């Protein structure tokens, strides 16, 4: 039964599963609810819409100012308040750091997710560029772009269109452009759940998440909460830590339809390694040895492009800043602050 259902639904389920691989998270002790804690700013997009973002501005640097950093979260279709620990960490290194919910979710849920002939991924690229164009004109350095999981794909989509607008690209627990690492992802999630708590994924109700057939908003909420409580913990090295962490999230943190919409847009116009090899900027890689996407994502990237720095941390899965915070701090500082 399971194998039959898996073949019929893997394309739908891995999209929902991957959002959880792409959700960047707080440590359990540092957050009480799902919300941004830093003051919000607004900018006007190319389509005269108001986009909300969050800035942690570095102090004036008289000697050699450090480049600004743009953080891109995952999903697709997941809120980004949970990236604030990384934003705060990078700010402590002396960088102005910027973070926002992508249009269609969270603080920017009111913005249109399609316009004329433009897909959601194209609009997200435009929004990222609108944010970069808002950076202070006094800075002579181009910003660094950091993307986690799906956010790494989003960072590459942006770089594909505007390779001269950034100085450096950091792929954090990325999905490789051709999605080699995702081929066995659903099976891995299933097996880890079975080992941890004997969850029955074999029944059709647990698998058949056909968005176009959702009967009600309540059903969509139930599906989303099931993904969070049953899938998110499998992306942790310590399953119990993942279970505790999952309790901080609810159905408002993720939009299933936006997730599917974004994956369809990407699959219709994916990034190619031929395009990546034309970039003239350093690309760095930071991941965990026990990540569900490893080692396939690193192998695929190494085989097709030049990675300047490669750091693989141990005893963590998809959220190294939560699972190995000290090692993660040292690694990301080495990547963004070394010449």
pLDDT of residue 26: 34
- The predicted model scores a pTM of 0.83
Report the alpha-carbon distance of residue 289 to residue 66 in Å, rounded: 30
The CATH number of the domain covering residues in 1-339: 3.40.50.1820
Report the alpha-carbon distance of residue 7 to residue 192 in Å, rounded: 19
pLDDT, tens digit, 9 for 90 and up, residues 188-207: 665 666 666 654 444 334 33
Model confidence band, residue 136 (pLDDT cutoffs 50, 70, 90):
confident
Contacts of 63 (CB under 8 A, 6+ apart): none
What is the side-by-side strand order in the sheet with 144-148? 40-44, 50-56, 97-99, 69-72, 144-148, 168-172, 283-288, 310-313
- Are 177 and 157 within 8 A, CB to CB? no
Most confident of 1-10, 77-86, 221-230: 77-86
pLDDT, tens digit, 9 for 90 and up, residues 62-121: 677 899 999 999 889 988 988 899 999 999 999 999 999 999 999 999 999 988 789 999
Cα dihedral: 160, 163, 169, 173 (round 10) = 0
Distances (CA, A) of 235 to 108, 173, 230, 318: 27, 11, 10, 6
Cα of first residue to Cα of last residue in the chain, in angstroms, is: 54
Mean of pLDDT values over 15-23: 40
Cβ atoms within 10 A of the Cβ of 4, count? Answer: 10
Contacts of 129 (CB under 8 A, 6+ apart): 158, 161, 162, 165
Report the alpha-carbon distance of residue 225 to residue 213 in Å, rounded: 17
Report the alpha-carbon distance of residue 312 to residue 335 in Å, rounded: 12
pLDDT, tens digit, 9 for 90 and up, residues 138-179: 566 899 999 999 999 999 999 999 999 999 999 999 999 999
Task: Quickly list DSSP for 205-233.
Answer: HHH---GGG---HHHHHHHHHHHHHHHGG
- Are 111 and 104 within 8 A, CB to CB? yes
């Amino acid at each position: 039964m399971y194998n039959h259902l898996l073949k019929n639904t893997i394309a739908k389920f891995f999209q929902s599963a991957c959002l959880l691989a792409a959700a960047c998270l707080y440590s359990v002790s540092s957050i009480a609810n799902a919300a941004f804690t830093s003051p919000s700013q607004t900018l006007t997009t190319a389509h005269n819409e108001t986009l909300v973002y969050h800035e942690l501005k570095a102090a004036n640097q008289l000697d050699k100012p450090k480049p600004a950093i743009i953080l891109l979260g995952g999903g697709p279709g997941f809120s980004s308040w949970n990236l604030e620990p990384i934003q705060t960490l990078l700010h402590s290194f002396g960088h102005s750091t910027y973070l926002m919910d992508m249009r269609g979710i969270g603080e920017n849920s009111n913005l249109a997710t399609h316009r004329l002939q433009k897909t959601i991924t194209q609009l997200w690229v435009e929004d990222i560029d609108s944010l970069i164009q808002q950076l202070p004109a006094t800075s002579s350095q181009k910003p660094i772009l950091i993307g986690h999981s799906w956010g790494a794909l989003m960072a590459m989509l942006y770089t594909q269109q505007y390779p001269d607008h950034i100085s450096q690209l950091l792929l954090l627990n990325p999905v490789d452009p051709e999605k080699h690492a995702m081929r066995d992802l659903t099976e891995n999630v299933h097996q880890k759940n079975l080992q941890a708590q004997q969850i029955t994924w074999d029944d059709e109700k647990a698998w058949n998440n056909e968005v176009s057939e959702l009967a009600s908003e309540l059903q969509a909420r139930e599906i989303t909460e099931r993904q969070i409580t049953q899938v998110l913990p499998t992306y942790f090295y310590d399953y119990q830590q993942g279970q505790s962490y999952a309790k901080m999230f609810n159905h408002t943190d993720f939009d299933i339809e936006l997730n599917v919409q974004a994956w369809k847009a990407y699959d219709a116009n994916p990034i190619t390694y031929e395009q990546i090899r034309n970039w003239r900027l350093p690309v760095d890689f930071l991941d965990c040895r026990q990540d569900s996407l490893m080692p396939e994502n690193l192998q695929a990237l190494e085989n097709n492009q030049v990675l300047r720095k490669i750091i693989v941390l141990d005893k963590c899965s998809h959220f190294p800043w939560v699972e190995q915070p000290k090692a993660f701090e040292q690694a990301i500082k080495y990547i963004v602050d070394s010449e």
